A and B are shown apart, each in its own frame.
Chain A
Amino acid sequence: MRKRLHMNPIWKKELVVGSRSMKMSWAIMGINAFLTIIVLIVLSITNMSAATSGYRYATLIWLFPILGCIECGLISLIVPVITSGSISGERERQTLDVMLTTPVTTFSIAVGKLGSAMSVVMMYMIASIPVMAIAFVLGGMSWWALLGLFGMLLYLGIYVGSVGVFCSSVVKKSVVSTILTIAIGIGIIIVTTVILYVVIATQSAMCDAKGVAYAGPGAAAFIMMLNPYSPIVDFMMRVMMGTGIDRLMEEMGTKSSIILAISRWWIPCSIVINMIISFIFLKLAARNISVTRNRK
């Protein structure tokens, strides 16, 4: 029996509906205008410094991390907005019940909602290629770096999107869901950083007491893998300086070869961990979807 691969129906429908709304075209235009302005600012700063110290193309290389960070920031803000009404909106307009009477699982509803948010992210990315390409050519970046950046943006979009879909399944109001999504993101960053800080502080205090030199946080540093931005930081470091977080840990005094080996694989490790977390968020969202709320 031939079983054809079906596209997630919810994803497909959102594409049709989304392509008809003008909101996206405006957003794409806005983002491109914003990126162009950044490029122009960096160019004019380079030009101005050229008057005093000669034209240095090398400063243009900073376009890469600047634009990269801006795109990450935009995704961290836009995706929560796109996903904020994904489930609560269906509930509000009373289309969720009918969806639940079909054999479509609540998990594929959640995945479809995430997928449609990702299509939007992809549109933004594709639309920003011209501006990015100019910046990259000027900065002397390789196309691999650009490709890598897009991969990172996709990964980040999936992560933020899963949290967003989850929040939308919990919270009724879109605005609240957007804020909650961003808050969860910031919360994870703060909590992991604070934990690492506390670990480092106690470890170094203990070292001081014993009178030995502090040799870095060691395996405790891996808690930062839970920070969804850490692989992006590692990626940026590698592109800009040729070395990643592993080097940082080595410099702090980490000796263990296993820990160093793992930290060399920071990007895949962290991405895998964070994708598992995304999956869990989606599963939780699916569970919330199947709970029919009090009506009226």
Chain B
Amino acid sequence: MLTIENLTKQYGKFLALDHLNLHIDKGEIYGFVGPNGAGKTTTMRIVCGLLKATSGSVTVDGIDAIKQPDDIKRKVGYVPDFFGVYDNLKVMEYMEFYGSMYGMERQEIDDISEGLLELVNLSDKKDAFVDTLSRGMKQRLCVARALIHNPDLLVLDEPNSGLDPRARFEMKEVLKNLRSMGKTILISSHILPELSELCTSVGIMEHGRLVTSGKVDDIIDASQGNQPIHMKVVYAETEEPLNQYVATILKEQPFVEKVSFTDDEVLIHFRGDDLEAARLLNKLFDHHIMVSHYYREKENLESLFLEITGGEENA
């Protein structure tokens, strides 16, 4: 469906995309994650024909996005990260405006819009002015708009950014509907747990390169056993400051890579499996360290993402 080969984009001297390779099959929902400035938006804009690549190729359904930008525009629907709407324009007119840009007849646009507005749960807003809609509604309207010409590939750039939990939930419902309709979607986000629930595959991007890419489950499986342990120590028999003592003891233990302290928790980066984790807890008892809670983080994309990208980023 979408194939990106050796895609490189340079802004002046700055290398935003560095020989990026990516393949998405039909019907897949591909999640694109990465810290700010990783190059997600740049990739998406090239796929939509908005930006010229420095080198490399992008094909959608066999059509070259760089050589045939006009054909690609009929194949791709794009929801940008930031977008605006017009004043004094009603929801239905908004749809008609964009439909007519694809040369569609008014009747056809109206019929399709009915269905799309229903899909994004805006049927009751047909006659509202677009600039009066809430942020979440605008975002959903933009998704409906991007689908007006029935594109093969839908490109969503952070459709959840700036939305409150309720609006996020609604957006997720829309995306789930699209998934069940068999749409191929390329979606970028910072909100990783939502992506892992929604996506069939993900790619983690950093500095213009894909660090990891594949099926969600495969990626999680491959990195099993790396999750940190959270622990709370209430008392230890020692003259030393508590944290210092605990850190010294922990660092002597196998599989412990790093120990850090938050307000009231100890975070242990641990490479062992669950049995080793249990052994570690026993050792702590042996040292008369009294632990009130002790649990291992469940592996998810979020922690994986933080691990891969060095943990500097707050999602």
Contact = CB atoms under 8 A, between A and B. Distances in A.
A97 B80 contact: yes
Interface stretch (B55-63, B68-76, B205-213): B68-76
Given A6-B100, A13-B97, A93-B84, A101 B89 contact: no
B249 interface: no
A94 B86 contact: no
23 contacts: A12-B100, A13-B86, A13-B93, A16-B89, A17-B87, A20-B88, A93-B85, A93-B86, A94-B84, A95-B84, A95-B85, A95-B86, A97-B78, A97-B80, A98-B80, A100-B50, A101-B50, A103-B70, A103-B73, A103-B101, A104-B101, A292-B45, A292-B50
Contacts of B49: 100-101
Interface string A102-130: 11100000000000000000000000000
A20 B100 CA distance: 20
Given A21-B87, A92-B84, A103-B103, 4 more contacts: A9-B101, A21-B88, A93-B85, A95-B83
Contacts of A93: 84-86
Contacts of A101: 48-50, 73, 76-78
Contacts of B51: 292
Nearest to B97: A13
Interface residues of B, number: 31
B117 to A, nearest CB: 17
A97 B83 contact: yes
Nearest to B100: A9
A220 interface: no
Nearest to B80: A97
A29 interface: no
B3 to A, nearest CB: 19
A45 interface: no
Interface string A239-260: 0000000000000000000000
Interface of A: 4, 6, 9, 12-13, 16-17, 20-21, 92-95, 97-104, 292, 295
Nearest to B151: A101
Contacts of A4: 105
Nearest to B99: A9
A71 B48 CA distance: 45
B98 interface: yes
A229 B48 CA distance: 44
A92 B84 CA distance: 9
A103 B73 CA distance: 6
A9 B86 CA distance: 14
Contacts of B78: 97-98, 101
B236 to A, nearest CB: 50
Nearest to A112: B101
B45 A94 contact: no
Contacts of A9: 97, 100-101
A276 B102 CA distance: 29
A161 B295 CA distance: 69
A101 B154 CA distance: 12
A102 B98 contact: yes
Contacts of A102: 73, 98, 101-102, 149
A93 B89 CA distance: 14
A6 B103 contact: yes
Contacts of B85: 93, 95
B108 to A, nearest CB: 12
B145 interface: yes
A17 B89 contact: yes
Nearest to A97: B80
